[in-house]
Amino acid sequence: MPTIPWTTPKSRPLADDPVTVMASRLELRRLRDVPSFLAAALQIRRQMLNSPGALGLSLIAKPVHRTFWTLSAWQDQAALSAVVGRQPHLEIMKRFRPRMAGSRFVTWTAPATALPIAWDDALRRLDKPDTVHDHR
C-alpha cells in the first residue's frame, strides 16, 4: 500500500503559531492481524480528521512487513491528548496492544509554516532513541 498523503482537515493554524507534531511506528506480531489493523487505522484516521485541533495527517503502511507509520499535526498538545483519549481510538489501541511487536512515538513542536511535515524528518526523529517513547 502506498503512502496515504498528507490530508488537511478544515482547521487552520495562524501562520506564526507553533503546532504539535506526532509520529509513530507501529509493528504487529503476526501477519494475520494486518487486515484488521489496517481497517482500524483507517477508522482512526477518519476520527482524527474530524477532531478539533487536527491540522493534518498521513499514513505509511507496509503490510507485508507488518509495520505502519503515522504522522499528524495538531493545534496544541491538548488537542492531541484529547483525541487519543476518545473512542474509537482508545478501544482500538487497547484491542491491538497485545498484538503489537512494538510501537514508537515521538512528539515535537514545529512552526505552522512547516506544514505539511516531511516524512523524512519524522522518520529521522523516530530513529533517534533519545527522543522516542518506545512501547514493547
pLDDT tens digit string along 98-122? 999 999 999 999 999 999 999 999 9
Lowest mean pLDDT segment, chosen from 2-11, 55-64, 119-128:
2-11
Residue 18 grid coordinates: 507553533
Query: Is 0.95 topped by the overall pTM?
Result: no
Structure confidence at residue 70 (pLDDT): 97
Residue 131's domain is classified under what CATH number?
Answer: 3.30.70.100
> CA-CA distance, 27 to 49, in Å (whole number)?
23
Domain that holds residue 130: 4-135
Q: In the structure, what pLDDT confidence band is assigned to residue 15 with cuts at 50, 70 and 90?
A: confident
Residue 102 grid coordinates: 512494538
Q: How many domains would you assign to the chain?
A: 1
Q: Tell me the residue length of the chain.
A: 136
The larger pLDDT score, comparing residue 11 to residue 128, is at 128
